[in-house]
Every structure is written in structure tokens, then in C-alpha cells.
Amino acid sequence: MPRIARERDRVLRRSARVTGVTASVTSLAYLAVPGGPGAPVTLLVGALLVLILGCQYVLGQSGALRWVLCIIVLGNAAILVVGSNHRVDVGLTGVEEALIGSLAAGAISCVAPVLVVGPQRQLVLFGAFGVTVASVALVTMSAGASVLPLALTVCGWAALSLGGWWMAQSVPRVLQRVAAIGRAHHAERHASELEAQRRQGARLLHDTVLATLTLLAHSGVGVSPAALRQQSGDDAHLLRQLRLGALPTPSRSGVYTLEPANTSMLGSTLESVKQRFGRMGLEVDWHGSGQVLLPADVLDSFLLALGECLENVRRHSGVTRADVTISDDDTTVRAMVTDAGKGFNLSAVSTERLGFAESVVARLRDVGGTARLFSSPGSGTTVVLEVPK
């Protein structure tokens, strides 16, 4: 996978940059210590180090081979400058030895992590290591100095090459793990979607729950406490079944089913709505044919809208009886909900305030249906709901 390689290379070149910059800054610090090389050498090496720092920074961004080569050339030049300008009588001072060591073992060897992948780059790695060791050996031996810089050089290169190589192995490993988590999570997302579908699909259940919650929101006023308790118990039971993963089939009222079905008979489900409102003190009289087949989603919306209309009658009309007339033709099923209550002035009360737009109109529009509202003060209210067959 190309992205894994990209990420791996990015980690490697960032490591190269942070190592190299740290070592170069340390080398600059050595130049400031008294007892170091003479002023001209200090200035020259300082300038070289600043250039090396720039290359190391850019290397951290691009990882290109040309910056690697720049660092190697500049670094080795700095080593040779330091090593060839010592005082003949003293040999290399401690400062100079440490400076050579940190240049070779840190500032130059920082290129190792970006050279561990690919045969061509590995070749460059060995070449760079050879050149650096050779120049360190040359300056220390010609000055008769200790083997400290050489030992440090070898250790630094070994540490950074091995560390880089190891990192190059770590990245694909961990990314494969990440990909495995992605696969597991894919299954989780699928499960979550099914769960949401199941819950949203249980529309009739939620309709009755919503109706009961609305009653409770009005503190249960106007309904006998026993009936409300009974209704709450039924609904809590249904919700528990839903939570436990079943598609609940209400056993007590026994008339409607929540099993998914492509088409359902309207008549059998109307009875449950009637019972529900009966318990809350609104007598509903059905007229006309109940034997109409409707697609499941249309039926759900239709029943929800009908239930909301009846709930409005129960709460606002001031009467305890409503009539529902169902009729159908070739294309449409129509329900007319009529009450003889106090009615209201349509222009005075906005339909939004009745929750009409949200709960009835929007739900019907989802399935291609319409709702119309007729009322005037003192002469009751009539709602006509229409859905396509």
C-alpha cells in the first residue's frame, strides 16, 4: 500500500531531522567553549554547521537524496577542516575530538534513517558510513589523537541505522493493526445501522409511546390514573422488548402487529387506535370500509396522522366523541375525522401551534399524502387525510 510507505517515510525523515538538528546544535555549542579551534576555523565550521542545519531541516520535509548528499559532503568537509588545522605540538584538543565525534556520530549520521529502505538508498548508506569513518580515521590518525571520535562515530551510525531500520518495520506493522480495527469497526457500523433501522421501523410502537408521553407531559390530566398506568405499563413493556432485540408484538391489545410486512390490512389496526383512545376517554366511532390494503410505510404514516388528529380532538375540542369515516377509491384512501366540539378560528390559531404541521402534514407528505383542516368557532372541526394506495 503506497500510503503505508508514505507514512513510514514521513516518520523516518522526521526522526532524521530531529536527530540531526539536535546534534548540529550541540556541535555549535562546542565551538563556543574555550580551548577549541582557532577563530578562522571556528567561523568556517560554524558557517558549515549552519548550512548543515538548513539541509537537515529540508531533509525532514522532503526526504530527497540530494539533501542527504549535501549533509554528507558538508559534514565531512567540517571534520576535515577541524582535523587539519590543529596545532602541531598539541595534537587534537579534547574540544576538537568531541566536535569531530558529534559531527560524525550525530550531525552526519542523521541521514541514516532515511537511507534504510530500498537497495539503492542502502548502498548510499554504506557509502556515507564509509566516507565518514574514513575522514574521521584520517584526521585522528594524522594528529595522533585517541580513538574516541572513531568509536563514537561507529556507535552513532550503528544506533541510527538500526533505529531507522526498526522504525521502518514498526510502521507497516502498526498500520496493519489499524486496518484490522477498521474492519472490526465496519461491522460495528453495520450493526449500528441495523439497530437504528429496527428502532425507526417500529413506528407503531413509537406512536403509542409518543401518545402516552404526550399525556404525561400534560401531567396526565383528564385521564384516569389507572388507565394511564395501564397504558404506561404496556408501552414500557414494548420498549423493553425492543431494547432486548425482539420485534415486539403487543400481546395485550393483540390487534396490531409490528412484524415487518409489505402490506397490511387497515381495518385490524384501526381497532387498536380506537382502544387506545377509549382508555383515555375519547369514544371513536368508525364508519365505512376498514378492509383496505396499504403498503406498510403508508399505513404507518396514515395511522400516526390519524392518531395525532384524535389526540387533538381529545385535548382541545371539549367533547368525548369523535367520528372517523374511512373511504377509498382506485387511487386514494381518505379518512375524515369529525368532532362536534368547540372548534376554533383557523386564522387565529396557527396550525404550527397545534403541532399539526409537524406531526400530521409532514408525516403524510413523506408518503405522498395530504391533510386539510376545516373549523370555525362553535361548529366543530373536520380534518381530511388522504394517502395514495
Partner 1 sequence: MSAGTAQTPASAPRPNPSSARAHKQLLDEQRDERRRTFRRPQRTVNTTRANRTGLGSRHLGLGISLSGGFFALFLLWRFAVQWDRYPNPLPTLAAWIVLLVATVATLIVVNRLADRMPTWMFLTVLAIGEIVVGLDLAGYGRGDAVDTYPTAAAAVGAFFAILVSVRRGREIVAATLVLGAVIAAGSLTAARDNPQVLVPAILTISLCVFPPLLGVSIVRGFRRMVQRELDLVLVQSTISQPSSAVGMLASEELARIDLDAETLLDDVATGRTALPLSPAKSAAAATLATQLRLHLIEGRRETWLHHALTESEFLGPAVNLDDPAGLAGELSPTQRDALLLAIWLLISDTDGAEPTVSLVFGPLGRTGGHSIGEMLRFPIKMIIEGVPRRRVDPETWQAIRVVGPHIDSVRSGQLHVDIECSIDNPADA
Residues between 343 and 362 that touch partner 1 (CB under 8 A) = 358-359, 362
Binding mask 130-159 for partner 1 (x = CB under 8 A): ------------------x--xx--xx-xx
Cβ at position 217, least distance to partner 1 in Å: 4
Q: Which of 160, 282, 335, 336 is the binder for partner 1 (CB under 8 A)?
A: 160
341 binds partner 1 per the rule CB under 8 A: no
What distance, in Å, lies between the first and last C-alpha atoms of the chain? 53
Cβ at position 41, least distance to partner 1 in Å: 15
67 binds partner 1 per the rule CB under 8 A: no
- Which lies closer to partner 1 via its Cβ, residue 102 or residue 375? 102
73 binds partner 1 per the rule CB under 8 A: no
77 binds partner 1 per the rule CB under 8 A: no
Residue 312 near residue 276 (C-beta atoms within 8 A): no
- Which lies closer to partner 1 via its Cβ, residue 230 or residue 289? 230
Helices (H) and strands (E) counted in the chain, each on its own, are: 12, 7
- Which lies closer to partner 1 via its Cβ, residue 60 or residue 343? 60
- Which lies closer to partner 1 via its Cβ, residue 142 or residue 230? 230
Helix (H) or strand (E) holding 336: strand 332-339
Binding mask 224-243 for partner 1 (x = CB under 8 A): -x--xxx-xx-xx--xx-xx
CA distances from residue 371 to 171, 215, 257, 309 in whole angstroms, order as listed: 61, 24, 26, 10
Query: Binders of partner 1 among 198-227, rule CB under 8 A?
Result: 199-200, 203, 206, 209-210, 212-214, 216-221, 225
Cell 421501523: give the residue: 201
How would you list the strands of the sheet with 381-388, edge to edge?
Answer: 283-288, 321-328, 332-339, 381-388, 370-375
Cβ at position 109, least distance to partner 1 in Å: 11
Q: What letter does residue 321 receive in the DSSP assignment?
A: E
Q: Which of 47, 134, 191, 246 is the binder for partner 1 (CB under 8 A)?
A: 191
Residue 334 near residue 386 (C-beta atoms within 8 A): yes
Cell 403509542: give the residue: 208
Question: d(Cα 354, Cα 383) in Å, to the nearest integer?
Answer: 13
26 binds partner 1 per the rule CB under 8 A: yes
Question: d(Cα 386, Cα 364) in Å, to the nearest integer?
Answer: 8
- Which lies closer to partner 1 via its Cβ, residue 160 or residue 336? 160
Cβ at position 377, least distance to partner 1 in Å: 27
Sign of dihedral through CA atoms 315, 317, 319, 322? negative
Cβ at position 187, least distance to partner 1 in Å: 9
- Which lies closer to partner 1 via its Cβ, residue 119 or residue 189? 189
Query: Binders of partner 1 among 95-114, rule CB under 8 A?
Result: 95, 98-99, 101-102, 106
1 binds partner 1 per the rule CB under 8 A: no
- Which lies closer to partner 1 via its Cβ, residue 66 or residue 287? 66
Q: Which of 84, 120, 142, 169 is the binder for partner 1 (CB under 8 A)?
A: 169
Question: d(Cα 253, Cα 234) in Å, to the nearest integer?
Answer: 9
Q: Which of 59, 171, 284, 383 is the binder for partner 1 (CB under 8 A)?
A: 171
- One-character DSSP codes across 192-225: HHHHHHHHHH-HHHHHHHHHHHHHHHTTTTTS-H
Cβ at position 95, least distance to partner 1 in Å: 4
248 binds partner 1 per the rule CB under 8 A: no
Alpha-helix residue ranges (DSSP H) falling in 244-328: 266-279, 296-312
| Paired residues of 375 in beta bridges | 381
Binding mask 287-306 for partner 1 (x = CB under 8 A): --------------------
279 binds partner 1 per the rule CB under 8 A: no
Query: Binders of partner 1 among 369-388, rule CB under 8 A?
Result: none
Residue 104 near residue 156 (C-beta atoms within 8 A): yes
Question: d(Cα 157, Cα 125) in Å, to the nearest integer?
Answer: 10
- Which three cell numbers mark 61? 520535509
